[in-house]
Amino acid sequence: MTWPAPASIGMRLDEVDTPALIVELDAFEYNLQLLMDAARAAGVRVRPHAKTHKCPAIARQQVALGAVGVCCQKVSEAEALVDGGIDDVLITNQIVGGQKAERLAALARRARIGVCVDHPLQVEQLALAVEAAQTGLDVYVELDVGQGRCGVGGAREALALVAQLQAQPLLRFAGFQAYHGRAQHLREPDERARAVRHAQDIVVKCLKEFEAAGIAVPCVTGAGTGTYRLEAASAVWNEIQPGSYIFMDADYGRNRLEPDAPRFRNSLYVLSTVISDAGGRLILDAGLKAYSVDSGFPHIPDAPGWQFAKASDEHGVLNPASAAPALPIAVGTKLQLIPGHCDPTVNLHDWFVGVRGGVVESLWPITARGAVF
Amino acid sequence: MTWPAPASIGMRLDEVDTPALIVELDAFEYNLQLLMDAARAAGVRVRPHAKTHKCPAIARQQVALGAVGVCCQKVSEAEALVDGGIDDVLITNQIVGGQKAERLAALARRARIGVCVDHPLQVEQLALAVEAAQTGLDVYVELDVGQGRCGVGGAREALALVAQLQAQPLLRFAGFQAYHGRAQHLREPDERARAVRHAQDIVVKCLKEFEAAGIAVPCVTGAGTGTYRLEAASAVWNEIQPGSYIFMDADYGRNRLEPDAPRFRNSLYVLSTVISDAGGRLILDAGLKAYSVDSGFPHIPDAPGWQFAKASDEHGVLNPASAAPALPIAVGTKLQLIPGHCDPTVNLHDWFVGVRGGVVESLWPITARGAVF
């Protein structure tokens, strides 16, 4: 069931029902443009990660500004994006299961679709599905470049998978997926630089072995919001996949930036109402079902002197911080909560409420919300 | 957008697409009955908390077994439950905001609706709304009995709110909401008993002062899965609100029970596929968007020797545990993940897939999924 939007166009922000997921459009558009300008200057393609927003209306804006297409993580997400008008989607993930492979092949008849592999079983299932659907598919071999999740360990395994692909005329070897997620959240610039250098060494080694084997690698794709400048400057990656840059979040706010780095602005927050001040606390109407806490509690810029003490299913609890006097805040006040982690927070909502100058300007449905399979 | 169910009736469990939210029906029905039998023996009414399941199909089963109605936390949840055929809903929460009060009053024309208050502003807004809608509403004064969230601190404030209520002919004082959420998760039986004794002392003190003031308290409602036997045996509470008992979760599994306590069975899990074994790890196709981690990682009963190392948006990572040899598990294997916390996990899914004897028997839509406002 999709809920009605918690706002209507033209409404003032203070009239929006809560909890609501707000996008400050000026900051959002600034971020969209800043990333594209940086990528253009560095000469790399941009394929933004749509798992952040799950929203074709946003994906279309990214493509309009020059993105070659988008990434996502799930077949169902890709379906929602193609349904929403995106015609080039890379699933930066491994697909296992006959039903999923069939859906992926069906989708590849409607749009350019890519997918990653790191195991022979995935290639076998994809081969059966594209043969049945008589459609081509771009297949990227994922390298583990330090993330410690999916990805083959080196060139030998990668070459074996490509040999398996080459026996399948409908599966095209499209390049390397080389994404280092952990590196995005290392706090210091030199830590991030070291991590990306390590990733780069792994990619370069594989590229050399592929060259020696006479196999062209059309694309090296990867990178995220925390490190995209490093990969873009490397001359190894020719496509970057940042997602969070459009919104940012409290966790990314804890990264220390290089002095010359452009700063993305926070554009996303959950609007929440103070529903009680029982016992000298402030109780918010937004809890674990309105924002994720896997990367810590939300940041509350408008509540100086208050600290986030606890989140339960539908409540947030703020206590006075000991260090500073707490600003008096009345029951009924609406507060902005900048989530710890934007991606899983977005997945809890059905609508982005776009606001400019304190007035609701857009309502974008999050059509891939819950697209988990 | 509501996704199609990841299964169809009659399908074998091993054919269900993943991630999927599975309910083992035998265990689920055992739990439903066990709680009702215990409450009947203790002579208390049962008003199960529907925030756990967000599903009218389950609420109707609870009512069919004798529940007087259900609880929920949000006006939109109550709307979904009334739409689904439930005619008695208590919102165990404070409602602030004119739009919400109006929706609540509109709902109270279609069903018996209760709501909690702990601040004069809430009563003012409810009074305006029921006056405009010309409908009655049950209003419970919430007492803070140790939870440290909403709730007045004592009888003086409670009496002041009731005086405010009594000036409003359409607002009926219905009793005390006295819920101690933290007590549910204290690990030792004697800790839980102490916490409920403390809560009981607060309620009894208020009851005495209300008696002295000549004000009847029709109902004392509260209690959850971790302590319901204590409140039921107290002769103070006459209604209990357990929610998680139908499913249980890994966190409740960490409670040590009294030797004579009946044991609810785990009936809920996320079915997930192993999509990669890169680097000797097992990578699952279910992450932060398929289960919540606010109460820890999922428990994986079918993967002895493996430990949950990390969850990212769409992946879970299992590493071999050092202590025991890890069971070899092939890519493509489907594993059961018992979530750390059932309520926010359910909120990530659109369907319960009911399974009995390894065959899909029911598909129940989670119509209050995302009902956050």
A83/B contact by beta carbon, under 8 A: no
Helical residues (DSSP H) of A50-154, grouped into ranges: 56-64, 75-83, 98-107, 120-133
Residue B343: which of A94, A151, A313 has the nearest Cβ?
A313
- Strand, helix or coil at B46? strand
Instruction: Kindly determine whether residue A274 and residue B118, on different chains, have CB atoms separated by under 8 Å.
Output: no
- Strand, helix or coil at A310? strand
Instruction: Kindly determine whether residue A369 and residue B370, on different chains, have CB atoms separated by under 8 Å.
Output: yes
Residue B3: which of A99, A294, A371 has the nearest Cβ?
A371
Chain B residue nearest residue A55, CA to CA: B1
Q: What is the pLDDT along chain A (373 residues), one digit of tens a residue?
A: 578 999 999 999 999 999 999 999 999 999 999 999 999 999 999 999 999 999 999 999 999 999 999 999 999 999 999 999 999 999 999 999 999 999 999 999 999 999 999 999 999 999 999 999 999 999 999 999 999 999 999 999 999 999 999 999 999 999 999 999 999 999 999 999 999 999 999 999 999 999 999 999 999 999 999 999 999 999 999 999 999 999 999 999 999 999 999 999 999 999 999 999 999 999 999 999 999 999 999 999 999 999 999 999 999 999 999 877 888 999 999 999 999 999 999 999 999 999 999 999 999 999 999 999 9
Chain B residue nearest residue A142, CA to CA: B278
Q: What does the alpha-carbon distance between residue B109 and residue B143 come to, in Å, rounded to a whole number?
A: 27
Residue A314: which of B20, B93, B317 has the nearest Cβ?
B93
Dihedral, B253, B254, B256, B259 alpha carbons, nearest 10: 20
Kindly report the nearest CA distance between residue B134 and chain A, in angstroms. Answer: 23
Q: Which residue has the higher pLDDT, B104 or B325?
A: B104
Contacts of A158 in chain B (CB under 8 A): none
pLDDT in tens, B106-116: 999 999 999 99
pLDDT in tens, B260-303: 999 999 999 999 999 999 999 999 999 999 999 999 999 999 99
Instruction: Kindly determine whether residue B19 and residue A371, on different chains, have CB atoms separated by under 8 Å.
Output: no
Residue B313: which of A95, A277, A344 has the nearest Cβ?
A344
| Per-residue pLDDT, A3 | 86
Distance of CA B40 to the CA centre of its chain: 20
Strands (E) across chain B are located at 20-24, 45-46, 70-72, 88-94, 112-117, 137-142, 171-177, 220-222, 239-240, 268-276, 282-284, 306-312, 315-320, 334-337, 351-356, 359-365
B96/A contact by beta carbon, under 8 A: yes
A320/B contact by beta carbon, under 8 A: no
CA distances from B120 to A92, A318, B126 (A): 52, 20, 10
Q: Which of residues 202-221 of B touch A (CB under 8 A)?
A: none
B373/A contact by beta carbon, under 8 A: yes
Q: What does the alpha-carbon distance between residue B362 and residue B250 come to, in Å, rounded to a whole number?
A: 24
Task: Quote the DSSP letter at residue A197.
Answer: H
B286/A contact by beta carbon, under 8 A: yes
Instruction: Kindly determine whether residue A294 and residue B289, on different chains, have CB atoms separated by under 8 Å.
Output: no
Contacts of B51 in chain A (CB under 8 A): 313-314
Q: Can you give the pTM of this predicted structure?
A: 0.96
Contacts of B273 in chain A (CB under 8 A): 96-97
Instruction: Kindly determine whether residue B288 and residue A294, on different chains, have CB atoms separated by under 8 Å.
Output: yes
Domains (range + CATH), chain B? 13-20+264-365 (2.40.37.20), 25-251 (3.20.20.10)
Contacts of B122 in chain A (CB under 8 A): 275, 331
Phi first, then psi, for residue A140 (nearest 5°) are -105, 135
pLDDT in tens, B227-253: 999 999 999 999 999 999 999 999 999
CA distances from A205 to A158, A198, A212, A218 (A): 12, 11, 11, 16
Instruction: Kindly determine whether residue B279 and residue A119, on different chains, have CB atoms separated by under 8 Å.
Output: no
Q: What does the alpha-carbon distance between residue B217 and residue B211 come to, in Å, rounded to a whole number?
A: 8
Instruction: Kindly determine whether residue B274 and residue A96, on different chains, have CB atoms separated by under 8 Å.
Output: yes
B293/A contact by beta carbon, under 8 A: yes
Instruction: Kindly determine whether residue A294 and residue B293, on different chains, have CB atoms separated by under 8 Å.
Output: yes
Residue A288: which of B99, B294, B314 has the nearest Cβ?
B294
Residue B324: pLDDT band with limits 50, 70, 90: confident
B339/A contact by beta carbon, under 8 A: no
Chain A residue nearest residue B332, CA to CA: A96
pLDDT in tens, B5-45: 999 999 999 999 999 999 999 999 999 999 999 999 999 99
What ipTM describes this predicted complex?
0.96
Contacts of A99 in chain B (CB under 8 A): 17
Cβ atoms A51, B314 nearer than 8 A? yes
Q: Which of residues 98-127 of B touch A (CB under 8 A)?
A: 99-100, 118-119, 121-122
Contacts of B104 in chain A (CB under 8 A): none
A27/B contact by beta carbon, under 8 A: no
Chain A residue nearest residue B158, CA to CA: A278
Chain B residue nearest residue A52, CA to CA: B313
Report residue B75 as tokens. Answer: 């006006």
Q: To 5 degrees, how large is the angle CA B16–CA B372–CA B106?
A: 115
Distance of CA B59 to the CA centre of its chain: 11
Contacts of A94 in chain B (CB under 8 A): 275-276, 283
